[in-house]
Amino acid sequence: MTRAQLNILDLVPVAAGSTAADAINSTVELAQHAEQWGYGRYWMAEHHNMHGVASSSTAVLIGHVADATSTIRVGAGGIMLPNHAPYVIAEQFGTLATMHPGRIDLGLGRAPGTDQPTARALRRNELAATNFAGEVEELLGYLGDPDPDATVRAIPGEGTHVPVWILGSSHGGAQVAAALGLPYSFASHFAPQALLSALELYRRQFQPSRHPQGLDAPRTMAGANVMVADTEAEAERLFTSTVERFHSIVTGRRTTLQPPTGDLGDLMSSWTPAERAAVADMLRVSFVGTPGQVRDALGQFTEATGVDEVILACAAFDPEARLRSYELLAEAWHEPVPSAEPAPERVHP
Protein backbone atom coordinates (compact mmCIF):
# COMPACT_ATOMS: atom_id res chain seq x y z
CA MET A 1 0.00 0.00 0.00
CA THR A 2 1.31 3.46 -0.94
CA ARG A 3 0.51 6.12 1.60
CA ALA A 4 -0.86 9.49 0.51
CA GLN A 5 1.44 12.50 0.44
CA LEU A 6 1.43 14.57 3.62
CA ASN A 7 1.31 18.37 3.40
CA ILE A 8 0.99 21.19 5.93
CA LEU A 9 -1.60 23.96 6.08
CA ASP A 10 -0.36 26.80 8.28
CA LEU A 11 -2.76 29.60 9.21
CA VAL A 12 0.17 31.40 10.91
CA PRO A 13 -1.65 31.42 14.27
CA VAL A 14 -1.00 34.22 16.74
CA ALA A 15 -1.03 32.74 20.24
CA ALA A 16 -2.25 34.67 23.27
CA GLY A 17 0.60 36.76 24.68
CA SER A 18 2.61 36.64 21.44
CA THR A 19 2.80 38.84 18.33
CA ALA A 20 2.35 38.50 14.59
CA ALA A 21 6.13 38.63 14.29
CA ASP A 22 6.39 35.64 16.64
CA ALA A 23 3.84 33.77 14.53
CA ILE A 24 5.72 34.44 11.30
CA ASN A 25 9.02 33.37 12.85
CA SER A 26 7.37 30.12 14.01
CA THR A 27 6.03 29.57 10.51
CA VAL A 28 9.51 29.84 8.99
CA GLU A 29 10.93 27.45 11.55
CA LEU A 30 8.16 24.92 10.97
CA ALA A 31 8.58 25.09 7.19
CA GLN A 32 12.30 24.44 7.48
CA HIS A 33 11.69 21.39 9.67
CA ALA A 34 8.82 20.17 7.47
CA GLU A 35 11.19 20.12 4.52
CA GLN A 36 13.58 17.89 6.47
CA TRP A 37 10.77 15.62 7.66
CA GLY A 38 9.53 14.85 4.15
CA TYR A 39 6.31 16.89 3.88
CA GLY A 40 5.47 17.65 0.25
CA ARG A 41 3.77 21.06 0.37
CA TYR A 42 3.64 23.94 2.81
CA TRP A 43 0.58 26.10 2.22
CA MET A 44 -0.72 29.26 3.89
CA ALA A 45 -4.23 30.69 3.62
CA GLU A 46 -5.62 34.15 3.06
CA HIS A 47 -7.58 35.49 6.03
CA HIS A 48 -8.30 39.08 7.02
CA ASN A 49 -9.23 41.05 10.15
CA MET A 50 -8.59 38.13 12.53
CA HIS A 51 -6.62 38.73 15.72
CA GLY A 52 -5.33 35.17 15.80
CA VAL A 53 -4.21 34.80 12.17
CA ALA A 54 -1.19 36.50 10.57
CA SER A 55 -1.52 35.22 7.00
CA SER A 56 -3.36 38.14 5.38
CA SER A 57 -0.54 39.00 2.95
CA THR A 58 -0.31 35.45 1.71
CA ALA A 59 1.89 35.99 -1.33
CA VAL A 60 4.41 37.94 0.76
CA LEU A 61 4.57 35.10 3.30
CA ILE A 62 4.97 32.50 0.55
CA GLY A 63 8.01 34.35 -0.75
CA HIS A 64 9.43 34.65 2.76
CA VAL A 65 9.02 30.92 3.45
CA ALA A 66 10.32 29.93 0.02
CA ASP A 67 13.43 32.08 0.65
CA ALA A 68 14.04 30.20 3.90
CA THR A 69 13.64 26.71 2.39
CA SER A 70 15.12 24.84 -0.56
CA THR A 71 13.00 21.97 -1.86
CA ILE A 72 9.53 21.87 -0.29
CA ARG A 73 6.71 23.26 -2.44
CA VAL A 74 5.29 26.45 -0.96
CA GLY A 75 1.91 27.86 -1.85
CA ALA A 76 -1.49 29.27 -1.07
CA GLY A 77 -4.25 27.19 0.42
CA GLY A 78 -5.60 29.46 -0.69
CA ILE A 79 -5.95 32.82 -2.31
CA MET A 80 -9.57 34.00 -2.21
CA LEU A 81 -9.77 34.98 -5.86
CA PRO A 82 -12.90 37.22 -5.75
CA ASN A 83 -10.93 39.53 -3.42
CA HIS A 84 -8.44 40.27 -6.20
CA ALA A 85 -8.08 40.95 -9.90
CA PRO A 86 -6.88 37.73 -11.57
CA TYR A 87 -4.20 39.75 -13.34
CA VAL A 88 -2.67 40.89 -10.03
CA ILE A 89 -2.57 37.32 -8.70
CA ALA A 90 -0.95 36.17 -11.96
CA GLU A 91 1.77 38.79 -11.56
CA GLN A 92 2.31 37.95 -7.88
CA PHE A 93 2.55 34.20 -8.36
CA GLY A 94 4.38 34.54 -11.65
CA THR A 95 7.00 36.55 -9.79
CA LEU A 96 7.16 33.95 -7.01
CA ALA A 97 7.55 31.16 -9.57
CA THR A 98 10.27 33.11 -11.36
CA MET A 99 12.21 33.47 -8.12
CA HIS A 100 11.52 29.88 -6.99
CA PRO A 101 11.00 27.80 -10.15
CA GLY A 102 9.19 24.51 -9.69
CA ARG A 103 8.26 25.19 -6.06
CA ILE A 104 5.18 27.46 -6.05
CA ASP A 105 1.55 26.30 -5.83
CA LEU A 106 -1.57 28.44 -6.20
CA GLY A 107 -4.74 27.21 -4.52
CA LEU A 108 -7.84 29.27 -5.28
CA GLY A 109 -11.05 29.68 -3.28
CA ARG A 110 -14.09 31.84 -3.79
CA ALA A 111 -15.06 32.71 -0.21
CA PRO A 112 -14.08 36.16 1.07
CA GLY A 113 -11.96 34.76 3.90
CA THR A 114 -13.32 37.41 6.25
CA ASP A 115 -16.44 39.29 7.34
CA GLN A 116 -18.55 41.50 5.09
CA PRO A 117 -17.23 44.89 6.28
CA THR A 118 -13.66 43.72 5.65
CA ALA A 119 -14.67 42.30 2.29
CA ARG A 120 -15.89 45.76 1.35
CA ALA A 121 -12.64 47.26 2.62
CA LEU A 122 -10.83 44.89 0.26
CA ARG A 123 -12.90 46.43 -2.56
CA ARG A 124 -14.18 42.96 -3.26
CA ASN A 125 -16.55 42.72 -6.19
CA GLU A 126 -19.42 40.64 -4.87
CA LEU A 127 -20.32 39.56 -8.39
CA ALA A 128 -16.84 38.07 -8.88
CA ALA A 129 -17.75 35.05 -6.76
CA THR A 130 -20.61 34.26 -9.16
CA ASN A 131 -18.12 34.06 -12.06
CA PHE A 132 -15.45 32.11 -10.22
CA ALA A 133 -14.83 29.67 -13.09
CA GLY A 134 -14.41 32.54 -15.54
CA GLU A 135 -11.94 34.32 -13.28
CA VAL A 136 -9.95 31.11 -12.81
CA GLU A 137 -9.75 30.69 -16.59
CA GLU A 138 -8.60 34.28 -16.98
CA LEU A 139 -5.86 33.66 -14.43
CA LEU A 140 -4.81 30.42 -16.12
CA GLY A 141 -4.49 32.33 -19.38
CA TYR A 142 -2.11 34.87 -17.85
CA LEU A 143 0.07 32.05 -16.48
CA GLY A 144 -0.07 29.95 -19.65
CA ASP A 145 2.03 29.99 -22.79
CA PRO A 146 3.18 33.48 -23.86
CA ASP A 147 1.00 35.19 -26.44
CA PRO A 148 2.92 38.03 -28.15
CA ASP A 149 -0.34 39.36 -29.62
CA ALA A 150 -2.13 39.64 -26.27
CA THR A 151 -3.02 43.17 -25.22
CA VAL A 152 -2.48 42.38 -21.52
CA ARG A 153 0.36 40.09 -20.48
CA ALA A 154 1.55 39.07 -17.00
CA ILE A 155 5.27 39.72 -16.82
CA PRO A 156 6.56 37.88 -14.82
CA GLY A 157 3.83 35.29 -15.07
CA GLU A 158 3.30 34.13 -18.63
CA GLY A 159 4.97 30.82 -19.37
CA THR A 160 5.46 29.95 -15.70
CA HIS A 161 2.53 27.49 -15.71
CA VAL A 162 2.14 27.81 -11.96
CA PRO A 163 0.13 24.75 -10.78
CA VAL A 164 -3.38 25.83 -9.83
CA TRP A 165 -5.59 23.92 -7.39
CA ILE A 166 -9.28 24.59 -6.81
CA LEU A 167 -10.23 24.64 -3.14
CA GLY A 168 -13.71 24.17 -1.78
CA SER A 169 -16.08 22.85 0.83
CA SER A 170 -19.08 22.24 -1.43
CA HIS A 171 -20.03 20.83 -4.80
CA GLY A 172 -19.46 24.18 -6.52
CA GLY A 173 -15.69 24.04 -6.26
CA ALA A 174 -15.68 20.39 -7.31
CA GLN A 175 -17.61 21.23 -10.48
CA VAL A 176 -15.21 24.06 -11.39
CA ALA A 177 -12.15 21.86 -10.81
CA ALA A 178 -13.64 19.01 -12.85
CA ALA A 179 -14.69 21.24 -15.76
CA LEU A 180 -11.24 22.87 -15.99
CA GLY A 181 -9.27 19.67 -15.40
CA LEU A 182 -7.53 21.02 -12.30
CA PRO A 183 -6.60 19.30 -9.02
CA TYR A 184 -9.13 19.66 -6.22
CA SER A 185 -8.62 20.10 -2.48
CA PHE A 186 -11.56 19.77 -0.09
CA ALA A 187 -11.62 21.78 3.15
CA SER A 188 -12.66 18.90 5.40
CA HIS A 189 -10.56 20.31 8.25
CA PHE A 190 -13.42 22.72 9.01
CA ALA A 191 -16.36 21.84 6.73
CA PRO A 192 -16.44 18.06 6.25
CA GLN A 193 -20.14 17.62 5.52
CA ALA A 194 -19.94 17.23 1.72
CA LEU A 195 -16.49 15.62 1.53
CA LEU A 196 -17.35 12.26 -0.01
CA SER A 197 -20.06 13.52 -2.34
CA ALA A 198 -17.88 16.39 -3.61
CA LEU A 199 -14.96 14.06 -4.31
CA GLU A 200 -17.27 11.65 -6.14
CA LEU A 201 -18.75 14.46 -8.22
CA TYR A 202 -15.29 15.80 -9.11
CA ARG A 203 -14.02 12.41 -10.24
CA ARG A 204 -17.19 11.64 -12.21
CA GLN A 205 -17.30 14.97 -14.04
CA PHE A 206 -13.56 15.43 -14.56
CA GLN A 207 -12.50 16.56 -18.02
CA PRO A 208 -8.84 16.55 -19.13
CA SER A 209 -7.56 20.12 -19.10
CA ARG A 210 -6.77 22.21 -22.16
CA HIS A 211 -4.49 24.39 -20.03
CA PRO A 212 -0.75 23.62 -19.79
CA GLN A 213 -0.87 23.49 -15.99
CA GLY A 214 -3.94 21.23 -15.96
CA LEU A 215 -4.28 17.47 -15.60
CA ASP A 216 -5.17 14.44 -17.70
CA ALA A 217 -6.65 12.61 -14.69
CA PRO A 218 -8.20 13.68 -11.37
CA ARG A 219 -6.00 14.51 -8.38
CA THR A 220 -7.45 15.12 -4.94
CA MET A 221 -6.47 16.36 -1.52
CA ALA A 222 -8.40 16.63 1.75
CA GLY A 223 -7.78 18.67 4.89
CA ALA A 224 -7.58 17.29 8.41
CA ASN A 225 -6.80 18.55 11.89
CA VAL A 226 -4.08 16.68 13.77
CA MET A 227 -2.50 16.69 17.18
CA VAL A 228 0.19 14.14 17.95
CA ALA A 229 2.09 13.65 21.21
CA ASP A 230 3.98 10.92 23.01
CA THR A 231 0.84 10.00 24.96
CA GLU A 232 -2.82 10.08 24.04
CA ALA A 233 -3.64 12.13 27.13
CA GLU A 234 -1.11 14.81 26.21
CA ALA A 235 -2.38 14.99 22.62
CA GLU A 236 -5.94 15.42 23.88
CA ARG A 237 -4.82 18.15 26.28
CA LEU A 238 -3.01 20.03 23.52
CA PHE A 239 -6.03 19.68 21.22
CA THR A 240 -8.19 21.74 23.57
CA SER A 241 -6.56 24.84 22.02
CA THR A 242 -7.91 23.74 18.63
CA VAL A 243 -11.35 23.08 20.10
CA GLU A 244 -11.42 26.51 21.73
CA ARG A 245 -10.33 28.10 18.45
CA PHE A 246 -13.26 26.56 16.60
CA HIS A 247 -15.61 27.63 19.39
CA SER A 248 -14.42 31.21 18.90
CA ILE A 249 -15.27 30.92 15.20
CA VAL A 250 -18.74 29.55 15.97
CA THR A 251 -19.43 32.35 18.44
CA GLY A 252 -17.91 35.07 16.26
CA ARG A 253 -15.22 36.05 18.78
CA ARG A 254 -12.18 34.94 16.72
CA THR A 255 -9.64 35.45 19.48
CA THR A 256 -5.94 34.65 19.53
CA LEU A 257 -4.97 31.00 19.97
CA GLN A 258 -5.52 30.08 23.61
CA PRO A 259 -3.39 27.85 25.87
CA PRO A 260 -4.63 24.29 26.39
CA THR A 261 -6.84 23.43 29.33
CA GLY A 262 -6.68 20.32 31.42
CA ASP A 263 -10.10 18.91 30.59
CA LEU A 264 -12.28 19.14 27.50
CA GLY A 265 -15.42 18.68 29.57
CA ASP A 266 -14.60 21.71 31.70
CA LEU A 267 -13.87 23.74 28.56
CA MET A 268 -17.26 22.88 27.04
CA SER A 269 -19.31 23.12 30.25
CA SER A 270 -20.37 26.71 29.62
CA TRP A 271 -21.22 26.19 25.93
CA THR A 272 -24.76 25.89 24.65
CA PRO A 273 -25.83 22.55 23.11
CA ALA A 274 -25.91 24.23 19.70
CA GLU A 275 -22.32 25.44 20.12
CA ARG A 276 -21.14 21.96 21.14
CA ALA A 277 -22.84 20.41 18.14
CA ALA A 278 -21.44 22.99 15.71
CA VAL A 279 -17.86 22.59 16.95
CA ALA A 280 -18.10 18.79 16.93
CA ASP A 281 -19.38 18.87 13.36
CA MET A 282 -16.59 21.17 12.15
CA LEU A 283 -13.93 19.02 13.84
CA ARG A 284 -15.23 15.70 12.56
CA VAL A 285 -12.09 15.13 10.46
CA SER A 286 -9.56 15.37 13.29
CA PHE A 287 -6.95 12.85 14.38
CA VAL A 288 -5.60 13.11 17.92
CA GLY A 289 -3.34 10.70 19.78
CA THR A 290 0.00 8.96 19.70
CA PRO A 291 1.98 8.69 16.44
CA GLY A 292 0.73 5.17 15.77
CA GLN A 293 -2.88 6.02 16.54
CA VAL A 294 -2.90 9.06 14.24
CA ARG A 295 -0.99 7.27 11.49
CA ASP A 296 -3.48 4.40 11.47
CA ALA A 297 -6.56 6.63 11.63
CA LEU A 298 -5.22 8.92 8.93
CA GLY A 299 -4.40 5.90 6.78
CA GLN A 300 -7.99 4.66 7.12
CA PHE A 301 -9.23 8.13 6.17
CA THR A 302 -7.12 8.27 3.00
CA GLU A 303 -8.23 4.78 2.00
CA ALA A 304 -11.90 5.62 2.59
CA THR A 305 -11.72 8.86 0.60
CA GLY A 306 -9.21 7.75 -2.04
CA VAL A 307 -7.38 11.09 -1.87
CA ASP A 308 -3.88 11.36 -3.27
CA GLU A 309 -2.74 13.87 -0.64
CA VAL A 310 -3.79 15.17 2.76
CA ILE A 311 -3.09 18.63 4.12
CA LEU A 312 -2.79 18.87 7.87
CA ALA A 313 -3.53 21.72 10.27
CA CYS A 314 -2.12 21.60 13.79
CA ALA A 315 -3.20 24.44 16.09
CA ALA A 316 -0.98 23.74 19.09
CA PHE A 317 -0.53 26.75 21.38
CA ASP A 318 3.15 26.08 22.03
CA PRO A 319 5.28 26.28 18.84
CA GLU A 320 7.48 23.50 20.19
CA ALA A 321 4.46 21.25 20.64
CA ARG A 322 3.41 22.00 17.06
CA LEU A 323 6.86 21.09 15.78
CA ARG A 324 6.84 17.89 17.83
CA SER A 325 3.39 16.93 16.55
CA TYR A 326 4.39 17.19 12.90
CA GLU A 327 7.72 15.46 13.55
CA LEU A 328 6.16 12.48 15.31
CA LEU A 329 3.57 12.04 12.58
CA ALA A 330 6.15 12.25 9.78
CA GLU A 331 8.31 9.61 11.47
CA ALA A 332 5.34 7.27 11.85
CA TRP A 333 3.92 7.95 8.39
CA HIS A 334 7.19 7.31 6.58
CA GLU A 335 7.93 4.04 8.33
CA PRO A 336 8.00 1.17 5.82
CA VAL A 337 4.52 -0.18 5.15
CA PRO A 338 4.44 -3.83 6.22
CA SER A 339 3.94 -6.15 3.28
CA ALA A 340 1.31 -8.84 3.38
CA GLU A 341 2.40 -12.08 5.02
CA PRO A 342 3.30 -14.64 2.34
CA ALA A 343 0.91 -17.54 2.10
CA PRO A 344 2.32 -20.71 3.67
CA GLU A 345 3.85 -23.04 1.16
CA ARG A 346 1.61 -25.99 0.46
CA VAL A 347 3.23 -29.38 1.02
CA HIS A 348 2.21 -32.00 -1.53
CA PRO A 349 2.17 -35.66 -0.51
Name the band, by pLDDT with cuts 50, 70 and 90, for residue 349. Answer: very low
The number of beta carbons lying within 10 Å of the beta carbon of residue 230 is 11
- Which one is predicted more confidently, 185 or 264? 185
Task: Go through 251-277 and write b for each residue having 16 or more CB atoms within 10 A of its CB, e for each that does not.
Answer: eeebbbbbebeeeeeebbeebeeeeee
Mean pLDDT of the chain: 92
Q: What's residue 347's pLDDT?
A: 37
Report, as an integer, the average pLDDT of 13-32: 97
Name the band, by pLDDT with cuts 50, 70 and 90, for residue 266. Answer: confident
Domains of the chain as residue ranges with CATH: 1-162 (3.20.20.30), 224-335 (no CATH)
Q: What's residue 340's pLDDT?
A: 42
Q: How far apart are CA 171 and CA 17, in angstroms?
A: 39
Residues with Cβ within 8 Å of residue 256, at least 6 apart in sequence: 13, 14, 15, 16, 17, 18, 51, 52
Name the band, by pLDDT with cuts 50, 70 and 90, for residue 50. Answer: confident
Q: Which of 223, 236, 242 is nearest to 314 (CA)?
A: 242
Task: Determine which helix (DSSP H) or strand (DSSP E) holds 213, and give its type and residue range.
Answer: none
153-195 pLDDT, tens digit per residue, is 999 999 999 999 999 999 999 999 999 999 999 999 999 999 9
Q: Note the pTM of the prediction, 2 decimals.
A: 0.93
